[in-house]
Structure 1
Amino acid sequence: MPPANAPASPAPVHPSRVRVLHPGGGGGRVRAPGPVVYWMLRDQRLADNWALLHAAGLAAASAAPLAVAFALFPRPFLLGARRRQLGFLLRGLRRLSADARARGIPLFLLEGGPAEVPGLVRRLGASALVADFSPLRPVREALDAVVAELRRDATDVAVHQVDAHNVVPVWAASGKLEYSARTFRGKVSKVMDEYLVEYPELPALAPWDGEQPDVTDWDALIDRLKMILRSWNSEAENVPEIDWCEPGEAAGMEVLLGSKDGFLTKRISSYDTGRNDPTKPRALSCLSPYLHFGHISAQRCALEAKKRRHLSPKSVDAFLEELIIRRELADNFCYYQPHYDSLAGAWDWARKTLMDHAADKREHIYTREQLENAKTSDHLWNASQLEMVHHGKMHGFMRMYWAKKILEWTSGPEEALSVAICLNDKYHIDGRDPSGYVGCMWSICGVHDQGWKERPVFGKIRYMNYAGCKRKFDVDAYISYVKILVAQTKKRKAEEYLNPGSKHPKSEASQQLQMSKTLI
C-alpha cells in the first residue's frame, strides 16, 4: 500500500517510491507551468533513475521543462569525503553534465551546497522540487533545511522525495528497524515483483528556455577542490585518487555487461564459490563504486542478473542476496536507527557484552596511526589495510577480519568503532555509505548477527582470527597479491608524477584480471 501522503504520481513510477515532503499549492500535484527541478545527489545518472523519471513525469504533465541541480562543497554535507572520493564524484559529474546537455536538460552545479537549492528554485520559478533519498543524517538534515526554507517562503513549490536507490523503497520494504536479514528477506520477497520492473523511457519534455547554467571548467574545478580540501584538512587532500576505476554511467555498464570482462557476461559463474576468497578477485562484481555513487542502478543490475539466472543459478541468487537483501538492509538500519555509527546503535545484548569485556586485557594495543600505517604484528591484517589505502577498496571478506581485529587491538568498543569508521570512510572509494557503516557495526557490534560463544574482549560478538582465515584461503597468496598491487600502484603514481597527463585509467575488472594471474 502507498503511504497516506503519496501524491498522484505520473505513471509508471510506483506511487510508494514517492513521498510528499511539502505539498505546495497543488496539494502534491503540480499544476503551475513553472519548471520542475530534480535535486540529484545519491543517484548520479540519467538512465534507470526513478527520481528523474518522476520529475520528468511531473514536468510533462504540466508541459513544463526540467532541470537538474547538484550541490557540491560544504564540508558536513560531504560526510568527510577526501580527494579520492570527491575526484571520482566530479569526474563522473563531468560525464553526466555532457550527457544531460546532449539531451537538452540543463545541469546546475551549486558549489555553495544545499543552501543554494531554495534560491535556484526561486530564480527558476520552479513548480516542484524532486529530491533523492538517503538515510544518512547529514543528507536528511540538509533536505529538512531546504524544505523548511521553502515552507517559510509560503511557496507554492511542491517538494517530493523519491527512493531511486533501492529496488524496494526503504519505507515500503519495512516500517521499522529490522533485526536480521532473515526477518527483512521475507518482507522484501513478498513485494519484489511489484517493484523489480523494467524502466520506461524518459517522457518528451518541453524545451528549456530559462536561465542557463554557468559553463563549468572541470579541470579548474578539480584543482579548486584540492585547495578546498587542503584548507579543511591536509589529510583529506593527501588521499590520492584511484585510476583503476573509471567513473560514469557508461563505465558502470561496461563493468556489468561488457563483452570483454563484464561481471554478468564473463565472471558471474565463479561468484557463488569464489566471492569469499580474497585470492580470487575475478569472482567479485566490482560494482560497489558505481552503486555507491549511483552511476548504475541496483535495479538494472538485478534485472540483467535475472535474465541470466539459467546460466548460473547459485551465483545469480547469491549476487541478488548481496545486491538487494544485504544492501537494502543496510539502508533500513541507517534509516530507522539514528545512532547507526555508534555503540548506542547496537542491540542491547551486544552493547552489554561489549561493555562487560571492555576492560579485558588485550595482547596488543595499537594507536590509530599504527593501524593506519599498517604497523601491526599481523601481516594478513597489514595487507588488508594496505589494499584499502593504496587501492581504495578492500576485499569484502577481509573487511570483516579487518574490523574485528581493530576491536581486539584498541582500548574498547567505542574506540574500535570510531577508528574503523574513520579509516573506512577515509580510504574506501565506496566509504561513507550505509553498507560501510553497517559492515563496521556488524563486525564490532553484532548488528544483524546473533550471540556466539563468550570469550575475552569480544564477549558474545562473532570472533574471527588468523587461523580461521588460513583454513579458508591461501593467506600467503593474498599477502603477495597486495604487495604486487601496492608496488604497481606506486609505480603508476610515480610515472604520472614524471609524465603529467599520461594516466590511462583501467576498469577494475581489467586490472583485477591482470592481477589474478599472479594468484590463480
Structure 2
Amino acid sequence: MLHRVTPANRVPVRSGDYVLYWMIAARRSKCSFALDHALAQARELDRPLLVFEPLRAGYRWASDRMHAFVLAGMADNARAFAKAGITYLSYVEPAPGAGAGLLAALARNACVIVTDEQPGFFLPRMVAAAAKLDTRIELVDSNGILPLRATERAFTTASSFRRQLQKIVAPYLAMQPNARPLARVPAHVKGADVAGSILRKYRSETDLAKLPIDHTIAPIEGGGAVAGGKRLDAFIADRLAHYADDRNEPDRDPSSGLSPYLHFGHVGAHDVVARVWADAEWDPSKIAERVTGSREGWWGLPAPHEAFLDQIITWRELGYAWCFHRRDFDSYDALPEWARATLAKHAKDPRPHRYSLAQLDADETYDPIW
C-alpha cells in the first residue's frame, strides 16, 4: 500500500488477544484500505480481528441528523461483520466524556491498533492523543485516489493540483481496496472476545431523545452503506450521462447525492470512481500521454464522466491535501494571499441585501434558490 500506511507511534507490534481496528472515518465494511490492512495484520499475526466503531456525544454540531446518519451506518456494519463472523463493537457515547478510557481498555489486549487517517475536523488531535498509548497504532489512508503523502505541499488552485495529479497518479490507479474483504475470512480472524468488564462499564445509548445533542435538527432519510450503494446505483443509471450539461443547473437536480455518504465514510471514493470507469468501459491505457492540467480530455473518458471525476478527484482531494499539509486549514490566515487580497479589496463593496445567520438559516432571502 504505497503511501497508505503510516505508524502513529514507535511502539512495536506485540503479542495480544486480537488486532483492533478503530474505525473512525472509513465507516464501511468494504472498499477500505484500513479494513484491508487490519485483516492482513490479523492473518499475519494469527489473531482475530476486533472492529471498534465509536461515536462521540460532544463533537461540534452534534445533532439528531448527524447521529442518525452515522447510526444507520453502524447498523449496516453490524450486519455485515456479524455475517462474516468478525466481532464488531459499536459505542454511542451517552454523554460527553463518558467514553474516556474505552480505547485504552481495548488497547491493553491488542497486538496493534489500525485506524483511519483523516486530516480534517478533530480526528488528527484525537489520534495524536491515542498515539501516547503503549500499543502500536498504524494510520491507513483511504481518503482518495491519490494518497495524502503522495504530495509534498498544499495547493492553492485546482489547476495546479490537477497538473500534479496527472503527473503522479498513474501508479495509484491500479491500487484498489478490496470490494469483498469479508468473503472467505479465515477462521482464526473470527470471534474476538471483548472483556465483560469493558462491556458493562461502557454502555451505548442509541435513543436519540436521550442524548445531549441538538434535537432541533431532525434526521433525514438515508445513511449507511446500503443506502449509499443504492444512491450510487441510481446516479450511474440515471444522472451520470447528463452530468456535464446539468451540473450547473440546480433546478435539474443533477448531483450524485453521494456527499454525505462520502463524508461519513459509508461509501468510498474508490468504489465510486471504479463504477464511473466501468460505466465507460475505461482502463488506464486511455490516459493522455502528456500532462495538460486540463479538466477535459486527459482521462480519455466521455465528457460527463470526466466532469464528475474532476469533482470527486480534483476538487475533493484538493481539499484533503490542503487539510493534510496545512494544520491551520480552518483559519483565515491559511487562505492563499490572492484570496485574502481579493476579500480585502471588496470588503467595502455595496451590498444591497444583507442577512443575519438566522435569516439565511430560515431561507428568508430575495433569491428563490436561497
**What displacement does 1:265 show?**
2.6
Partner of 2:131: 147
1:433-448 equivalent positions in 2, closer than 5 A: none
Partner of 2:81: 100
Q: Deviations over 1:69-106 (max 9, x none)?
A: 1222241xx33232111111112212211221221222
**What displacement does 1:349 show?**
2.8
SS in 2 for 1:255: helix
Alpha-carbon distance in structure 2 between the residues aligned to 1:348 and 1:176: 16
SS in 2 for 1:71: strand
Partner of 2:194: 211
1:376-391 equivalent positions in 2, closer than 5 A: 376=365, 378-380=366-368, 383-384=369-370
Indicate conservation of the 8 Å contact 2:243/2:255, yes or no.
Answer: yes
Alpha-carbon distance in structure 1 between the residues aligned to 2:157 and 2:257: 25
1:28-47 equivalent positions in 2, closer than 5 A: 30=13, 32-47=15-30
Structure 1 residues 291 and 320: CA distance shift in structure 2, 3 A: same
Partner of 2:146: 168
Q: Deviations over 1:358-393 (max 9, x none)?
A: 3444323322222222223x233xx33xxxxxxxxx
Q: Indicate yes or no: 2:334 matched with 1:345.
A: yes
Q: Could you tell me which amino acid in structure 2 is paired with residue 188 of structure 1?
A: L
Q: Deviations over 1:293-344 (max 9, x none)?
A: 1111110111121112259711111111111111111111122223323322
Which of 87, 105, 109 pairs up with 2:90?
109
| Segments ≥4 residues shifted beyond 4 Å | 212-215
Q: Could you tell me which amino acid in structure 1 is paired with residue 112 of structure 2?
A: A
SS in 2 for 1:252: helix
**What displacement does 1:33 show?**
4.7
Structure 2 unmatched ranges of 5 or more: 283-300
Partner of 1:362: 351
Which of 154, 179, 188 pairs up with 2:156?
179
Q: Indicate yes or no: 2:236 matched with 1:255.
A: no
Q: Deviations over 1:29-48 (max 9, x none)?
A: x4535311111011110111
Structure 1 residues 196 and 81: CA distance shift in structure 2, 3 A: farther
Partner of 2:285: none
Task: Tell me the TM-score normalized by structure 2.
Answer: 0.84
Partner of 1:228: 211
1:196-207 equivalent positions in 2, closer than 5 A: 196-197=173-174, 198-200=176-178, 201-202=180-181, 204=186, 206=188, 207=190
Alpha-carbon distance in structure 1 between the residues aligned to 2:149 and 2:281: 32
Indicate conservation of the 8 Å contact 1:36/1:64, yes or no.
Answer: yes
Structure 1 residues 379 and 104: CA distance shift in structure 2, 3 A: same
Structure 1 residues 350 and 247: CA distance shift in structure 2, 3 A: closer
Alpha-carbon distance in structure 2 between the residues aligned to 1:50 and 1:332: 18
Q: Indicate yes or no: 2:240 matched with 1:268.
A: yes
Partner of 2:169: 192
Structure 1 residues 313 and 359: CA distance shift in structure 2, 3 A: closer
Partner of 2:65: 84
Structure 1 unmatched ranges of 5 or more: 1-13, 231-235, 385-520
Indicate conservation of the 8 Å contact 1:106/1:212, yes or no.
Answer: no
Q: Could you tell me which amino acid in structure 1 is paired with residue 6 of structure 2?
A: R
The number of aligned residues is: 337
Partner of 1:280: 252
Alpha-carbon distance in structure 1 between the residues aligned to 2:349 and 2:164: 40
Alpha-carbon distance in structure 1 between the residues aligned to 2:276 and 2:100: 36
Q: Deviations over 1:122-171 (max 9, x none)?
A: 1xx101001111112411111111112x1xxxx3x211000112122112
Which of 299, 302, 312 pairs up with 2:273?
302
Structure with greater contact order relative to length (CA < 8 Å, sep ≥ 6)? 2
Alpha-carbon distance in structure 1 between the residues aligned to 2:195 and 2:76: 18
Larger Rg: 1
Alpha-carbon distance in structure 2 between the residues aligned to 1:205 and 1:296: 27
**What displacement does 1:114 show?**
6.5
Q: Could you tell me which amino acid in structure 1 is paired with residue 367 of structure 2?
A: H
Indicate conservation of the 8 Å contact 1:40/1:132, yes or no.
Answer: yes
Partner of 2:289: none
